[in-house]
Structure 1
Amino acid sequence: MTNGDKIKENSINNDLSKIKTAITDIESNKIVTRGYSQEDLIANITFPDMVYLLLKGDLPSPKESKMFNHVLISFCDHGVTSPSTQTSRLIASSGSPLNVALSGGLLSFGKKHAGAIEDSMSLFQEALNDDIFDVYNFENYVNSKDFDNSIDEIANDIVDIYLNDNKKIPGFGHRYHTKDPRGAKLMDIVREEDFIGKHTKLALAIEKILFEKKGIHINIDGANGAILSDMGFSSSLGLGIFMIGRIPGILAHVNEEITQKEGFRKFCNIDDISYCGYEDKHLD
């Protein structure tokens, strides 16, 4: 926000029966989002820029715009391996409407599926809270050799804590890939674009140590968790941003299921079911 920007006065004050919002203002023949006319936004910015504006309140810089676009694309699809995609296709095969099948996929996101993005963001952000660095100019310190040494120490501590507790570090390793091609490409891009902030430095330092000790690489959640953290996004928005990127992929799978499959899809065959309950109980 610049000095010339004005905040619209609101007469609602603390009336809890009213909705107070700083996102979009609707008047007759006029729509303003985050201070910008939607006509101007429609004509001049990209969809990722609009998402960024809605979530953060400001338009991204050219470099942030480019990186945020890479982030959303990287989330787009992981085939039928994902529980959300499987759920959506199963629902679609039953004859449910498209919106129902899509909703089912979104509802399947949880701690064990897509939850690692928020966990990795929390890990990076809590480890590098500005308050733990007793320096006058933190931004200059981030680019110094002393900071790099501090990052290495923090990364070592994180890896030791997780490995000693036999726990997986969120954002590293993948059940299908020995090296997640999406995470690797994103880290290549941040180097090429000189978009390496403090959280990305930490992620790369953790990856280096993990690879030396366990042969484990950063995955898409770790890469994007670091990038989004460097952009200033709260970890609470991580899953939501993932969903924005993944919806087109799920939609494509739902549409494919509807147009190509006849009859409902079987979750499993009878021979795949192992009953382990009581048998031959009788009513008195």
Structure 2
Amino acid sequence: MTTAPAPNAIDSAAGLAADYWRTDIIDIEPGRIHVRGYPIQELIGQIGFAEMIWLMLRGELPAKRQAALLEAALVASVDHGPHAPSIAIAKMATSCGLPLNGAMASALNALDDVHGGAGQQAVELFHDIEARMFDGASLEAATATGVDAFIAAHGKYLPGFGHRFHPVDPRAVRLLALVDEAAQDGVVGGRYAAIGRAIEALLSGRKGKPIPMNIDGATAVIYAELGFAAPLARGVFCLSRAVGILAHAWEQSSRGERNKGPMPRQLPYRYTGEATRHLADSYATVVP
């Protein structure tokens, strides 16, 4: 015979269940969905996707100009063609028979420190330089010591600056112009744009040629100016790039091509191993 649990045990179990996945983000009951306290029906048709991202991540709605700046960063990062490994992976995965969700997952998993993480790393660098300024260093001195510390810790590659394809990244130029407009109107402070440009000047002086900000540096300026934590710079970039990944996977799915590799089969790769050798010859040289 099973004994019914005591009322206080039921209350305790219910409390444990309620706290197990506790969240400040969404409150759901039958017929009721509230996002950060707002009824979902009041948000639908009234706010844009960038505003929804902000609300979900930050807990409050952004001002219209803040949302516009975030949306500009999202639009700028959606795609960079099959040159980008994440896009190439999506296309190859689709040609191997994966459905859209599988191709997207394969591609998004490539967005790590090397490909996809530069925005987060740039925000971290900006924050470090800012902290040095708070400690009393000038912008120029803080930039030099911050860059040197980053290089000492992570190697000579500086995230957010220079581009292997574009001498000047057209996306960065437009984004920085929008940041300047927002700073002039008091929407953002402009501190991180100044830090980014100080890094540009430092690198150009050291290299003897222009090393402009790229898309990762410019979006990092925006995310920092808008107050996003550094890890969210990578997360929001993934949201943006997912659109390009989806578009290329969908396009590839209609082409009927199978098992496409990373380069045309007509182009040979370079073999750098041993010349042709034979097993019998190798055995003959072995000393018993």
When normalised by structure 2's length, the TM-score is 0.81
The partner residue of 2:85 within 66, 83, 86 is 83
Q: Distance in 2 between matches of 1:155 and 1:16?
A: 48
The partner residue of 2:172 within 170, 183, 200 is 183
Q: Is the 8 A contact 1:85 1:253 kept in 2?
A: yes
Which residue of the partner structure matches residue 48 of structure 2? Answer: 46
Deviation at residue 157 of structure 1 after TM alignment: 2.8
SS of structure 1 residue aligned to 2:28 = strand
1:231 paired with 2:217, answer no
Q: Distance in 1 between matches of 2:14 and 2:172?
A: 46
1:179-258 equivalent positions in 2, closer than 5 A: 179-194=168-183, 195-214=188-207, 215-258=210-253
Answer with 1 or 2: which has the greater Rg.
Answer: 2
SS of structure 1 residue aligned to 2:260 = coil
Which residue of the partner structure matches residue 35 of structure 1? Answer: 37
Q: Distance in 2 between matches of 1:47 and 1:24?
A: 17
Deviation at residue 57 of structure 1 after TM alignment: 0.9
- Percentage identity across paired residues of the two chains: 32
Deviation at residue 201 of structure 1 after TM alignment: 1.7
Q: Is the 8 A contact 1:117 1:222 kept in 2?
A: yes
Which residue of the partner structure matches residue 58 of structure 1? Answer: 60
Q: Is the 8 A contact 2:78 2:243 kept in 1?
A: yes
Unaligned runs of 5+ in 2: 1-12, 284-288
**AA in 1 matched with 2:193:** T
**AA in 2 matched with 1:243:** C
Q: Distance in 2 between matches of 1:62 and 1:218?
A: 26
Q: Is the 8 A contact 2:93 2:106 kept in 1?
A: yes
When normalised by structure 1's length, the TM-score is 0.82
Q: Distance in 2 between matches of 1:280 and 1:225?
A: 55
SS of structure 1 residue aligned to 2:235 = helix
Could you say what the CA RMSD is over the residues aligned between the two structures, in angstroms? 2.8
The partner residue of 1:272 within 265, 269, 273 is 269
**AA in 1 matched with 2:60:** D
**AA in 2 matched with 1:258:** S
Deviation at residue 18 of structure 1 after TM alignment: 1.8
Q: Is the 8 A contact 2:91 2:252 kept in 1?
A: yes
**CA 1:33–1:208: 2 relative to 1, 3 Å:** same
Q: Is the 8 A contact 1:190 1:196 kept in 2?
A: no
Deviation at residue 118 of structure 1 after TM alignment: 1.0
Q: Is the 8 A contact 2:120 2:230 kept in 1?
A: yes
The partner residue of 2:145 within 157, 177, 193 is 157
Give CA-to-partner distance per residue, 1:144-169, whole Å, 9 cap, x none.
Answer: xxx9x822321233345567897122
SS of structure 2 residue aligned to 1:25 = strand
**AA in 1 matched with 2:158:** I
